[in-house]
Every structure is written in structure tokens, then in C-alpha cells.
Amino acid sequence: MGLEHVPNKLDDELCFAIYTAQKIYNKFYTGALKEYKLTYPQYITLLALWEANEPMMIKELGAKLNLDNGTLTPLLKRMEKDGWVERKHSVEDARKVFICLTKKAKQKKYEIKSKMTSCFSAVEMSAEEYQKDVELIKNIGKRIEEGNEK
């Protein structure tokens, strides 16, 4: 049986709480990433590529980031123009395009990660609480997605 919830007050709505937190997070990241001229979606793209530690096909990167081609393509074009990534065609199949980190992106990896870590040090939260909250939010998303599939 699903949740029986009748919207009553805005502040009681899960969707509004997530929306508000997301706006605050975006503002936080905008300030933290300003000196690198990176947006939050560009930052998470770099995180995915750093994590993979190898070139990724555009389709694979989009799936990892949960971004469609209409969003990802212009984002990657801006990142390429700004020197963060480059596109390389597969030698075996020229239709396959890989996104690779540039030297700049590789060199700035630890600097950017360190900057983000230092920004979070002002947040009164333990590493355990942080990870618990990440899992909670993932679980909420998973439940909603599964509910929509029924």
C-alpha cells in the first residue's frame, strides 16, 4: 500500500523540502565553484570523469549523470570551449565519441576537490551524518521512481 498523504501545508511537503534544499545547494556550489568558472552540472561531470579515470562515451556519461543528450551536449561544448574536456572519436568506430579530461582538468582535480572539502567544513555535520543523508535522499528517489513504474 502506498503513502496516503493529503497536501495540507507547504512546509509539510517533501517535494518543497527537496526543492528548497536543492536551491540552497545550487547557491552553495555556485559560490564555491565561481573561481573555476564551473557550474554545478559541469562540476559533477568532472567528478564522473575523475571517478572513471578514463574516457567515457557520451551516452555512458549521460546515464551516470542522469542527464539527457539535450542537456549534456551543450554542457560538454561549454566545457570543451573552457578547456576542461575534449572529444575524441573511436579509432574502431568513428561514430563513437569519447569525452576525455584535458591536462587542465587533471591538474585542477585535487585543488577543486580540496576547495569543495574546505567549503563543507563550515557545515555542522559529521561524515557519518552526511553519508546517512546521501543514502536517505537516494532512497527517496528510488522509491518515487519505483512507484512511477507501477
Burial of 135 per CB tally in 10 Å (0-12, 13-18, 19+): exposed
pLDDT tens for each residue of 54-72: 999 999 999 999 999 899 9
Q: Global pTM?
A: 0.84
Q: Rounded to whole angstroms, how far apart are CA atoms 76 and 82?
A: 10
For the chain, which domains are there?
10-117 (1.10.10.10)
Cβ contact 48:64 at 8 Å: yes
Using alpha carbons, select from 46, 77, 80 the residue that is nearest to residue 64.
46
Long-range contacts of 23-31, Cβ-Cβ distance < 8 Å, separation of 24 or more: 28/119, 31/119
pLDDT tens for each residue of 6-52: 778 898 888 899 999 999 988 888 888 999 999 999 999 999 999 99
Q: Rounded to whole angstroms, how far apart are CA atoms 99 and 87?
A: 5
Q: How many residues does the chain have?
A: 150
The residue behind cell 551524518 is: 129
Phi, psi of 42 (to 5 degrees): -70, -40
Count CB-CB contacts under 10 A for residue 50. 15
pLDDT tens for each residue of 69-84: 899 999 999 999 999 9
